[in-house]
């Protein structure tokens, strides 16, 4: 691990100023991802800015009837919050399917959004990786790529985003609140993370001097018809091969609105609004679910070891939609 200096920010403005004056600095809160990256010599910050004392650790109602999640609220406190469990159970379920209880007790909401890929080659500094070193090449494309992306890939990178929480946030159409030298702004969750394209080293659209302050959830939480399905190699403490966040608004057996977001298959939570709109006004049947699954995965491309994910994702989509549609009968 390289040497670094340390400072503790007293307020958001101070944290932003520290980051703006030292581009090699990193914010640290729970540290559940950054410390791993530093240990493996993947991240080499010259300065750590401790933000754990900032007043960003509350969950509050918003004026429009939604809920604001402070960036420093832990994943565990978010998942078990009474309002989140009642109004946004999809989010609670997604968070609790990720990591381990010990990590959820430390990891923060802001840090969850910013966690980096768990690609083997990204963590192995002895192998080429465009995400770690632009222009070096992508070892995963011709290597062992069982965990890698089948949607939204480029010839520069096929890594996947590892978060479960972000998949649910994308389905809920959450908004990320950030603060920087130029002031405060909001970023829709759908626009927060980036596909690899020609710059896979840039994970998000967050500015270098910006800090996440909160995540806003809209009033609609799809609490009556939802499902979070995570398919993985073992039941606990494993990243998704494929995950699906399904949220439905229904009238009888007819679907009025559907939202579907996939995890484990792309460089960001994957949502195809045109495909999910195929369910609007349709009956909640397996046949209709299969049509949507085919549409979502139509442009998927496997790279050998991970080609099985295409069929797995289709089946997971159908299964998640079926569970979401039948929630009332399961209660």
Model pLDDT for residues 300-311, shown as the tens digit of each residue: 999 999 999 999
Residue 7 pLDDT: 97
Q: Is residue 307 domain-resident?
A: yes
Residue 303 pLDDT: 98
Residue 8 pLDDT: 97
Q: Is residue 144 domain-resident?
A: no
Alpha carbons 263 and 241: distance in angstroms, whole number: 8
Which CATH number characterizes residue 261's domain? 3.30.390.50
DSSP 65-109: S-EEEETTSBHHHHHT-HHHHHH-HHHHHHHHTSS-HHHHHH-BH
Q: Is residue 302 domain-resident?
A: yes
Using DSSP's 3-state secondary structure scheme, residue 189 falls into helix
Q: Is residue 197 domain-resident?
A: no
Q: For the chain, which ranges sit under pLDDT 50? A: 329-331
Domain enclosing residue 232, as ranges: 226-330
Q: Is residue 96 domain-resident?
A: no
Alpha carbons 165 and 95: distance in angstroms, whole number: 5
Total structural domains in the chain? Answer: 1
């Amino acid at each position: 691990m390289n040497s670094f200096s340390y400072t503790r920010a007293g307020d958001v403005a101070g944290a932003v100023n520290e980051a703006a004056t030292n581009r090699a600095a990193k914010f640290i809160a729970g540290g559940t991802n950054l410390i791993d990256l530093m240990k493996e010599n993947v991240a080499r910050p010259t300065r750590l800015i401790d933000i754990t004392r900032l007043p960003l650790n509350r969950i509050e109602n918003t004026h429009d009837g939604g809920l604001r999640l402070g960036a420093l609220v832990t994943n565990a406190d978010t998942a078990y919050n009474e309002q989140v469990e009642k109004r946004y159970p999809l989010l609670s379920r997604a968070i609790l399917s990720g990591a381990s209880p010990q990590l959820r007790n430390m990891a923060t909401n802001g840090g969850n959004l910013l966690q980096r890929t768990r690609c083997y080659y990204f963590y192995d500094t002895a192998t080429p990786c465009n995400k770690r070193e632009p222009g070096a090449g992508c070892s995963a494309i011709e290597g062992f790529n069982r965990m890698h992306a089948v949607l939204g890939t480029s010839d520069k990178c096929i890594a996947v985003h590892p978060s479960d929480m972000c998949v649910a946030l994308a389905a809920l159409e959450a908004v990320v609140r950030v603060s920087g030298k130029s002031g405060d702004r909001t970023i829709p969750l759908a626009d927060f993370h980036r596909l690899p394209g020609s710059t896979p080293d840039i994970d998000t659209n967050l500015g270098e001097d910006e800090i996440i302050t909160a995540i806003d959830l809209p009033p609609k939480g799809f609490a009556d018809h939802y499902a979070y399905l995570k398919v993985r190699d073992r039941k606990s403490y494993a990243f998704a091969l494929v995950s699906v966040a399904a949220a439905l608004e229904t009238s009888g057996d007819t679907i009025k609105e559907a939202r579907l977001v996939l995890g484990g298959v792309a460089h960001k939570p994957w949502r195809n609004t045109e495909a999910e709109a195929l369910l609007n006004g349709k009956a909640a049947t397996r046949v209709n679910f299969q049509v949507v699954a085919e549409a979502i995965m139509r442009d998927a491309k496997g790279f050998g070891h991970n080609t099985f994910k295409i069929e797995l994702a289709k089946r997971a989509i159908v299964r998640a939609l079926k569970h979401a549609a039948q929630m009332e009968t399961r209660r």
